[in-house]
Amino acid sequence: MARRIFQLLSFTALASDERGASMVEYALLTSLIAVAAVSSEWTLGDNTARTFDLVAGAAGVNPADSVGLTR
């Protein structure tokens, strides 16, 4: 009985308990996906805006005029 209590309180018993490991792995994976999504949105968003401005400029259209903005 005393040995079981010591085992429950020891660090090795806590380290070998893997019940929370999956939750931590999913949290890390989710945060990595979120960082990748945000960084790709910034990159693709800027490139897409530049492409639309380039096409609109080549067509002789001011993109700000179509939404009521002025440059």
Determine the Cα–Cα distance for residues 37 and 45; give it in Å rounded to an integer: 12
- Is 41 a member of any domain? yes
Determine the Cα–Cα distance for residues 57 and 61; give it in Å rounded to an integer: 6
Domains in the chain: how many in total?
Answer: 1
- Is 32 a member of any domain? yes
- Are the C-beta atoms of 71 and 61 separated by less than 8 Å? no
- Is 11 a member of any domain? no
Domain span including residue 24? 16-59
Contacts of 71 (CB under 8 A, 6+ apart): 62, 64
Which pLDDT tens digit goes with each residue over 28-63? Answer: 999 999 999 998 888 888 788 888 888 888 887 776
State residue 33's pLDDT score.
95
- Is 30 a member of any domain? yes
- Is 67 a member of any domain? no
Which pLDDT tens digit goes with each residue over 2-37? Answer: 666 666 666 555 566 666 678 888 999 999 999 999
